[in-house]
Amino acid sequence: MRLRRSIMRKPRAAVGSRSRCRKQACSQEGREKRALSSSQAKLSAPDGLARQQEEVRLQAAVSPYHLFRDTAEVTVFRKSLLSWYDREKRDLPWRRRVEGEVDPDRRAYAVWVSEVMLQQTQVATVIDYYTRWMQKWPTLQDLASASLEEVNQLWAGLGYYSRGRRLQEGARKVVEELGGHMPRTAETLQRLLPGVGRYTARAIASIAFGQATGVVDGNVVRVLCRVRAIGADPSSTLVSQQLWSLAQQLVEPARPGDFNQAAMELGATVCTPQRPLCSQCPVQSLCRARQRVEREQLSASRSLPGSCDVEECAPNTGQCQLCAPPTEPWDQTLGVANFPRKVSRRPPREECSATCVLEQPRALGGARILLVQRPNSGLLAGLWEFPSVTAEPSGQHQRKALLRALQSWVGPLPATRLRHLGQVVHTFSHIKLTYQVYGLALEEQTPVTIVPPGARWLTREEFHTAAVSTAMKKVFRVYEGQQPGTCKGSKRSQVSTLSRRKKPIAGQQVLDSFFRPHIPC
């Protein structure tokens, strides 16, 4: 399920201040044009013609029922949505910052940070991270001068860690190559800034710079699919193009940032995935999904089979490309939640890892634990973790491989003290990773003070503020308990330990002892 996307509001002062910054905008435009000319050539005439032909072909496969066919509907939609938004919008820190910011580059930066953080992350989680980020790096120049270690440290726990790295890369590009000024249009934002895609570019351009360009995120997809009864797969090329076209048609030119935020706010708070609050919807009168529900209820009350109006969902020829396929009939129990069609997702691939919390309880200055840094690319790039190895099915092989890895960092170790404590299951976006958790305390060894580059000894307090992933914090909780406990909270993770197993009844063979050291992964 896509997580909720939040909303920012373009300050009205931004439009009025544009004339005062005209000279600055002209020089900025020149820089963008020079950068664009060196990064991408213009489309040739044949390419443009092919694109137009493809759009005509796609439109021919769409019934007018799924479109806004007259300007009156569009006007009502805009007015109703914006009036509702002005009354009901949530008070969020990025909105307050954008509303009070007159500098266009700072305004765009504030929007950019919030948009990146909100990707695949809930609003409630982002609020604290956003506040701390903007306090630490209030400008592009501040972020550009920060170290990746600092960025990872503040981002730790927010997930999807490449977002923070790309945000800093983008800030450095703006400062070093664009004179410290953000690109002013959605096109140049998307082409010039790393990690900025179609949605983010249009969100920044509309909210910060007042460009009349529509946006489509998960919330907007849901709103548009219900308002126009689009039941086909929203991830397909045809449906995606149609949704972007609808968003562009609907956006209010006088208040594009507010309109886009209102559409996302509606999907996040009213037109929700389950149990939508239709009675509170400002555009209910224009909602095809709601009309379908009422029609089905009327048919059911009259004991008549539900049927669709031919004019509503049939194009000139063949099956309408925006309707649900015949193989997916209407579900009376879902109501408007029949839209949009749920996209089947690939299950995450499963991987296993063995990881060890290596501690020096009697180190000078207090107990310390060993952390090593991950590679600068790939999963959790640049973050710190406990020494880990890819796990083998056999527990004996796990132990040997893990010991070799530990000794490569700190030298000879007492193998007999390596204890298996339990496991942590953590799901990333595309990987379900099972960590077999081990612990080893160097009680009598001479404290190790020198480690190779890419490793460090930290106190427990330092560990909790270091750039480590949520998974590693769960691993450490298993170790801290010594008699391992259970990780509570997230549904996406699970901790299991040996102590959770029931004691055998009298006379029963203890299978764990019988089969040890085999540890299934």
Catalytic residues: 115
Residue 262 has a CB neighbour count (10 Å cut-off) of 26
- 357 touches 437 (CB < 8 A): yes
Query: Rounded to an integer, what distance in angstroms lies between the CA atom of residue 104 and that of residue 116?
Result: 18
The length of the chain is: 521
Task: Kindly tell me the burial class for residue 193, based on how many C-beta atoms sit within 10 Å of its own C-beta (0-12, 13-18, 19 or more).
Answer: buried
| 485, two tokens | 């406990």
Q: Which of 5, 29, 514, 474 is nearest to 218 (CA)?
A: 5
Q: Which of 509, 501, 354 is nearest to 439 (CA)?
A: 354
Query: Rounded to an integer, what distance in angstroms lies between the CA atom of residue 131 and that of residue 264?
Result: 21
Query: Rounded to an integer, what distance in angstroms lies between the CA atom of residue 157 and that of residue 410?
Result: 28
Phi, psi of 373 (to 5 degrees): -95, 140
Query: Rounded to an integer, what distance in angstroms lies between the CA atom of residue 187 and that of residue 336?
Result: 35
- One-letter amino acid of 87: R
Query: Rounded to an integer, what distance in angstroms lies between the CA atom of residue 254 and that of residue 263?
Result: 15
340: preceding bond cis by omega (within 30 degrees):
yes
